[in-house]
Amino acid sequence: MSTHPGRLARLSPYVVVLLGLALVGGLYTAFLAPQSSAQEDPAAAQSMAVKAGRDLYLSGCSTCHGLDMQGGSGGPSLIGVGEAAVVFQVESGRMPLAAGTVQAPRKKVQYSLAQIDQLAAYVQAHGGGPQLPELAAGDSLTNGDLQEGGELFRTNCSSCHNFAGAGGSLTYGKYAPRLEPASARVVYAAMQSGPESMPRFSDGQLSVEDKKAITYYVRYITRAAQPGGSALGKFGPVPEGLVAWLVGIGVLVVATLWIGNRA
Amino acid sequence: MSTPSGNDHGTAAGATSTGGQTPTSEASGGMTSSAAAGSIRDRLRSPGAQSSGGDTRGSDLSGEHFQQSDSSQQLYDNGRDERQLSHSSPPQEAEIQEPRAEDVDPAAARAAERLVSALFLMSFLGVIGFLVTYVFAPFTYGLEKHNQLFNPLLAIFMAMALGGIGAGAVVWAKRLMPDEEAVQERHPFGSDPDERAATAEALKGGLDQTQLPRRSLLRNTLLLGAGSLALLPVPLLFGLGRFQHKERTLATTGWKQGVRLIRQNGTPVNRNDLEIGGIESVFPDVPRGTKLADSAALLIRMRPDELKVRAGRETWSVDGFVVYSAICTHLGCPVKLYEQQTHHLFCPCHQSTFEADNACKVIFGPAARALPQLAISVDPEGYFVAQGDFSEPVGPSYWERPS
């Protein structure tokens, strides 16, 4: 590169200013803001997320839910539904809705996890509502007492979702969905927000610890390997007995006939 | 008869040759006997039977012979005789069986023996493998890690253990044990006529010995005493539970005035605990309250303006909180499937649907009556208490139900 003295002289003030800024910034991060040096300012990150979420909302959701989340012809108002509702609906693929049916079906998820967080932050920032718990480092939504979770699940959840989380039917074509595909966040958010037909379980009813235990239990019964082989849809003794009688006894009868024929 | 193993059944011939000599043609043989005789006759008359018998026995054993035989000893002998002749249904060539390779070739027999022994050995290995797997294989079962092989290994070894014994026994019986077909006939079911006559005689004599035909006083009082027993079931028409029903156990539950609503784990329910759209399974706070099958109830919170309060029930609910019996009025299933948007309460057994926002009126299904409502109020500490028992008896209908 050609080093023309005149050009260098013209550039030098900018270089000085840049160096000075870098020095001041470095000193600031080194001495004045040691806490936020580890990670970004959470408030700023939050407002960034809200901003990004607003863009996502306006492009993806506002057609039905209205420009100000006031609701419209296609969808209900989102004021007060909280981040839990957003996480449940979007992370399970139910929103954006493809067609008006009696109940929103689980579909392919349209947004990344980061985008879902941004949408949730935006909806939470405008009207509040049920939230997911703040998790400390190393904590998770499935960090709970499995046995306690089982008790609570059988008391509060199993009447609709079946003892093994296989789901069941409700009135007029509605249904309680199968819990197997749901992520831990979606399970927790469903209890927290009470989507569609599902009742809402406030923290006064089921504490954060209770809900973590239930979430863990749901993941356990739906995701843990089946020690007995095929679960046959987890519908309980009826299909199991059917298979035992039709398949098991049938095979035995055929084997007996075969042996009798060969004798 | 040429059975390959060389077993000899020829000794029965003497007894059977006298069997057919005394035809009495009684009807005592009955259906089964004559049906059996028919098939036997067919078999015995086939040419193979006669030629293989090698003497006149085949023609002696006609169908009549089986129908009329009057001594079980004779029948048994006939059965043995028949057993000898039973290969005859497909004629001639089938009835002399081909000797198996194992019968003529010692090498083949040894091979069969080795096969059976190998199967038994497999069974032994299966037992050892099962025990080793059960005791020493790592068994972890959970969400994160899980030994996928544990149960399949147990199943494979158990199949080896049981299947080896079974398959070995089958091969053993088929290839090494004597190859013969044997039929044992049943004797007719009826007793012989002499025995039946003697029994009838004894019964008649017994009646005479009671002297009932002669002593009319005895007979008439016996008829009166025994006949009046028929009156005893009459009170059943009016129910056995008069004393029980005075206590109205079916019509009452564990709920009383001032009893708190508790959860399954025993904690009372505060009015601040539920959000709108929330539900809670509640029980009366009495001894063993959570175990009382008739007292289970469902606390529902909805927006107060959504609740259609029925006349006369204005004070039964608190600020959108209502409590209904959780026992279906159809057949008593637990009704806890609550849809918070439509306020439908749904019974999973027979699809009865109740409107929780409208005094649990039935809108679908076989239930005949609305779910009984429990009147509630709030005590000074903010906990829900019952104002009394349910508005009407809970659960399915029963005979003496007051309403």
Cα(A116)–Cα(A122) distance, integer angstroms:
10
Residues of B with CB under 8 A from a CB of A: 141-143, 146, 148, 150-151, 170, 174, 263-265, 270, 272-281, 334, 336-342, 344, 346, 348, 351, 353, 364
B131: which residues sit within 8 A by CB, 6+ positions away? none
Measured from the Cβ of residue B187, the count of other Cβ atoms closer than 10 Å reads 16
Compare all CA atoms of chain B with the CA of A204 and give the residue at the minimum distance. Answer: B273
Token code pair at residue B82: 């028949």
- Side-chain half-sphere of B299: how many Cα atoms within 13 Å? 32
Residue B223's pLDDT band, with cuts at 50, 70 and 90, is very high
The pLDDT value recorded for residue B57 is 42
* DSSP notation for A25-54: HHHIIIII-HHHHHS--HHHHHHHHHHHHH
Cα(B340)–Cα(B335) distance, integer angstroms:
14
Show residues of chain B in contact with A259, CB under 8 Å.
170
The pLDDT value recorded for residue A49 is 86
The Cα-based distances of B80 to A166, B18, B64, B156 in angstroms read 63, 14, 17, 45
Distance between A166 CA and the closest CA of chain B, angstroms: 14
**Is the minimum CB–CB distance between A199 and chain B shorter than 8 Å?**
yes
The string of pLDDT tens digits covering residues B38-69 is 444 444 444 444 444 444 444 444 444 444 44
Least CB–CB distance from B278: residue in A155, A197, A201: A201
Share of chain A above pLDDT 90, in %: 31
Distance between A151 CA and the closest CA of chain B, angstroms: 10
**Which 3 state secondary structure label does DSSP give B50?**
helix
Q: Flag if B342 and A171 touch (Cβ within 8 Å).
A: yes
Q: Flag if B174 and A263 touch (Cβ within 8 Å).
A: yes
Show residues of chain B in contact with A201, CB under 8 Å.
278
The pLDDT value recorded for residue B301 is 94
Mean pLDDT of B182-203: 88
Least CB–CB distance from A200: residue in B263, B278, B337: B278
Show residues of chain B in contact with A171, CB under 8 Å.
339, 342, 344, 346, 351, 353, 364
Mean pLDDT of B177-191: 83
Which residues make beta-bridge pairs with B400?
none
Distance between A152 CA and the closest CA of chain B, angstroms: 9
Q: Is the peptide bond before A42 cis (omega within 30 degrees of 0)?
A: no
Mean pLDDT of B364-369: 92
Cα(B124)–Cα(B131) distance, integer angstroms:
11
Task: Give Cα A71 distance to the centre of its chain.
Answer: 23
Distance between A257 CA and the closest CA of chain B, angstroms: 14
pTM attached to this predicted model = 0.63
Compare all CA atoms of chain A with the CA of B275 and give the residue at the minimum distance. Answer: A202
Average pLDDT value for chain B: 78
> Which helix H or strand E contains B323, and what residues bound it?
strand B321-325
Q: Nearest 5 degrees, angle CA A211-CA A217-CA A220?
A: 145
Return the amino acid letter for B175: R
**Residue B376 phi, psi dihedral angles, 5° rounding:** -125, 160
Question: Which of B292, B286, B252 has its CA nearest to residue B268?
Answer: B286
B170: which residues sit within 8 A by CB, 6+ positions away? A259
* Lowest-confidence segment of A150-164, B141-155, B198-212 by average pLDDT: B141-155
Task: Give Cα A214 distance to the centre of its chain.
Answer: 15
Q: Does ipTM exceed 0.95?
A: no
Instruction: Confirm if A177 and A185 have CB atoms less than 8 A apart.
Output: no
Q: What residues does each domain of chain B span?
A: 1-96+192-210, 101-177, 251-386
The string of pLDDT tens digits covering residues A109-159 is 889 999 999 999 999 988 888 888 888 888 888 888 889 999 999 989 999
Instruction: Confirm if B47 and B92 have CB atoms less than 8 A apart.
Output: yes
Show residues of chain B in contact with A173, CB under 8 Å.
none
Cα(B362)–Cα(B354) distance, integer angstroms:
5
The architecture in CATH of the region B251-386 reads 3-layer Sandwich (2.102)
Show residues of chain B in contact with A142, CB under 8 Å.
143
Cα(B115)–Cα(B108) distance, integer angstroms:
10
The pLDDT value recorded for residue B354 is 95
The string of pLDDT tens digits covering residues B243-302 is 555 557 778 889 999 999 999 888 999 999 998 999 999 999 999 988 988 999 999 999
The pLDDT value recorded for residue B15 is 38
